[in-house]
Amino acid sequence: MGAVSHTASFRHILVGVDGSAPACRAAVSAARLALALNAKLTFLAVAREVRASKEIEDYAKLEGIYASSFPLLRKEAEFCLAAAVISARELGLKGTERLVQTGDVAQTIARVSHTHGADCIVLGRSSHGAMRTLFTRSVVKTVEEIADKALLLIP
């Protein structure tokens, strides 16, 4: 990740939302930052890809849906995404984008930041639970290594 100038102004902020309390706080902080900078704001949740059973695939085809897998988002992440969008609207932000993608979490965050033109990535940082902290550090470290964007961590 390159150095960020103190005079830099972000035009598009991408927030990773996973349903954890730090991620939800990061979403609100990013909304406030986007408002202050008049920046575009995109909320991103990375879902698990679930293969449909043969019966579901057959039914989906009958209904005109041609997908062999579907994104499965945890209830906490869905709630956090909805709350983030509502918070952004209440702050006066218009046109926030809400994305649900599947794939490796860090790789997906980096890819979406690139394809959507984000110049800042905001993530929540957990300080509780050894496994959760290990997972969060891994995601943050990988995003930091592969995304050429400013990275802001919110406790």
Contact 99, 45 (CB under 8 A): yes
> pLDDT digits over 127-142, tens only?
654 444 444 568 888 8
Ramachandran angles phi, psi of 19, nearest 5°:
95, -10
Least confident of 7-16, 47-56, 101-110, 119-128: 47-56
What per-residue confidence (pLDDT) applies to 54? 78
> pLDDT digits over 80-122, tens only?
889 899 989 999 998 899 998 888 999 999 999 999 999 999 9
Which residue ranges form the domains of the chain, and what is each CATH number?
12-154 (3.40.50.620)
Nearest to 27 by CA among 3, 51, 43, 47: 43
Contact 41, 88 (CB under 8 A): yes
Top pLDDT among 67 and 56 is at 56
- Overall average pLDDT of the 52-58 stretch: 75
